[in-house]
A and B are shown apart, each in its own frame.
Chain A
Amino acid sequence: MLAGCIVTIEVAVLSIIIGIAFGVLLALARMGRKDVWSWVANAWIEVARNTPALFQIYLAYFGLGSLGLHISSFLALLAGITFNNAGYLAETFRGGLRAIPGTQIRAARSLGMTAGQGFRLVVLPQLIRVVYYPITNQMILAVLMTALGLTVGLDSDLAGVTQRFNVLTYRTFEYFSVAAVLYYLVAKILLAAARLLAFRLFRY
């Protein structure tokens, strides 16, 4: 079951990292010019936020199958959670970018910085501070969402391993109590690590 914990953390961290990348792109596309990309970003964000995560995982697992695209339950889980994370994180980034006044960028440009420098040296440090806590929250939610892998037959993550033992022994309550404790610990340890990192990053 401890090996299951590792897989759970793996899925959660991967989905958050890919989710951040897509989230930034979606936020930029949504805020940018009204073209086909902003339309796609809008649709992605609204669907991700207005349908259940379990539905999104089902769509990846069963839905893509009818397009002739058969993916493993691990990939389906990862894709579903990442899709969900990206939708929520995009809104976080949009809020974060809004919180930084445009005058700062113009000030940076008038000091002789290039657009890239302005973004990297002025906008980014502030943006990270604003979005850091929402991202840690989303990470904990991602850990909890990985339990949904159970419903598409994933048997290597924490919930899946537990279910495998459960089917063998019929000791549902005992095994899932242990799983609940482990999930609690994983969530708390990740949160503590994030807080520690924040303490180190945001000292100034």
Chain B
Amino acid sequence: MFNASISPNDILFMLRGAGVTLLLTFWAVLGGTLLGVAFGLLRATAPGWPSYALGTLLDVFRSVPLLIQLILATAFAPIAGLDWQPFTVACLVLAVYASAYCTEIVRGSILAVPLSTRRAARSLGLTWWDDLTVIVFPIALRVGLPSWMNLALGLMKDSALVLWLGIIELLRSSQIVVTRTQEPLLVLMIAGTIYFLISFPIARLGTWFETRWQVHD
């Protein structure tokens, strides 16, 4: 099985697929983080029902399989009269999906900052915005960063699902190579190695941050 006719071009093709995977991950993480920080701030500070309503709404995105969300969004885009590429739809769905998780991370991190610290900041004359950017943000960052990195890695892995929409990312490109060479195990192992090489160092970095930035109190 290991003397298959896999040419350098096949590997190059799969690496290009890996590039698409990374691009998807980048947009999803960017959009998800921006939305997540905004929503998380709202959820941590807004009182009563707006916070709960947002929480329930975002919970839906965490309780429905991502594959179903992707299929629904692709089916919905033409119904709404939007002429979008599958790539755009996939990025949007992944970003919203990411924001649902990111919101909870941000909310948890902000709530981990003791209220007395924030009151002290305000009583020293800092404005609400100063308090948020200079006091809350640095403390919340070290609480939330490891989970955020886990989320980014999870997205990288979840982005494999977009192959159902016909986008040629890493896993899909490996499927195409498989249909040509008829060597599923070998090709899939190469794809797995690429995923592993992307994911493992970042995962280790996350653990390192976690121990390095541990909150001592």
Contact = CB atoms under 8 A, between A and B. Distances in A.
Interface of A: 46-47, 49-55, 58-59, 62-67, 140, 143-148, 150-151, 159, 172-173, 176-177, 179-180, 183-184, 187-188
12 contacts: A51-B196, A51-B199, A54-B163, A54-B171, A65-B185, A66-B184, A66-B185, A66-B186, A144-B63, A150-B164, A172-B71, A176-B75
B195 A183 contact: no
Given A66-B186, A183-B65, 7 more contacts: A51-B157, A55-B188, A63-B188, A146-B65, A151-B164, A159-B68, A172-B75
B185 A159 contact: no
Contacts of B160: 52, 54-55
Interface of B: 1, 60, 63-69, 71-72, 75-76, 79, 153, 157-161, 163-164, 171, 175, 178, 183-186, 188-189, 191-192, 195-196, 199-200, 203
Nearest to A84: B157
A147 B199 CA distance: 23
Main secondary structure of the interface of B (DSSP, over half): helix
Contacts of B64: 144, 180, 183-184, 187
Given A176-B72, A184-B60, A47 B192 contact: yes
A148 B184 contact: no
Given A184-B60, A184-B64, A66 B1 contact: yes
A153 to B, nearest CB: 12
B155 to A, nearest CB: 10
Nearest to A151: B164
Contact of A150 (B63, B67, B157, B191): B67
